[in-house]
């Protein structure tokens, strides 16, 4: 993974067992030095979310858990579905995806791009998503949450 601003997406190798944090997986698999390079502070949340893609089969969605958010993006967990073993492949599709995040009292929507993803358990992946298009209403709600509003 490149230092500084990431223009592409990084995928790292598989975890052999147990559960690890995304930071630990990045450190072990791509030599991340632990230095924070993000432009925006993260806020821990525990929101449900849904990813959809424009080129996917009609009606296909992938459920995610939103772990943290910032002005520029979020970190999610995605569980590989036994009924859809290719559900994790959406992270490597190299296309823009639509993300709906179910914040308390509001559904926030954004077009996102996958910046990195890493396995944290046999069936669970974490991914960093960058917000590339969000309407004014949803952006305003997100900014309010980041300033200390409801999570």
Dihedral sign for Cα atoms in the order 55, 96, 111, 33: positive
Domain 40-146 fold: Thrombin, subunit H (2.40.10)
pLDDT at 22: 60
Per-residue confidence in pLDDT tens, the chain, 151 aa? 333 333 444 444 444 445 556 655 555 555 545 555 556 688 999 999 999 887 666 667 889 999 999 999 999 999 987 777 777 777 776 678 999 999 999 999 999 999 988 888 888 999 999 999 999 999 999 999 999 866 5
Backbone phi and psi for residue 90, each to the nearest 5 degrees, phi listed first = -60, -25
**Predicted pLDDT at 83:** 75
The three-class DSSP label of residue 149 is: coil
Task: Show me where the domains of the chain are located.
Answer: 40-146
Decide: helix, strand or coil at residue 23: helix
As a whole number of Å, the CA-based R_g of the chain is 15
pTM: 0.74
């Amino acid at each position: 993974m490149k230092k500084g601003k990431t223009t592409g997406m990084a995928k790292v190798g598989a975890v052999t067992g147990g559960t690890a944090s995304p930071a630990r997986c990045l450190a072990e698999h791509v030599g991340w030095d632990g230095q924070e390079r993000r432009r925006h502070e993260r806020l821990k949340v525990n929101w449900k979310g849904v990813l959809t893609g424009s080129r996917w089969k009609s009606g296909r969605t992938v459920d995610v858990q939103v772990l943290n958010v910032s002005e520029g993006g979020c970190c999610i967990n995605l569980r590989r579905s036994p009924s859809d073993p290719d559900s994790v492949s959406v992270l490597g599709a190299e296309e823009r995806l639509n993300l709906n995040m179910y914040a308390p009292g509001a559904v926030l929507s954004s077009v996102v791009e996958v910046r990195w993803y890493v396995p944290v358990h046999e069936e669970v992946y974490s991914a960093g998503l960058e917000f590339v298009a969000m309407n004014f209403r949803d952006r305003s709600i997100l900014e309010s949450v980041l300033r200390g509003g409801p999570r």
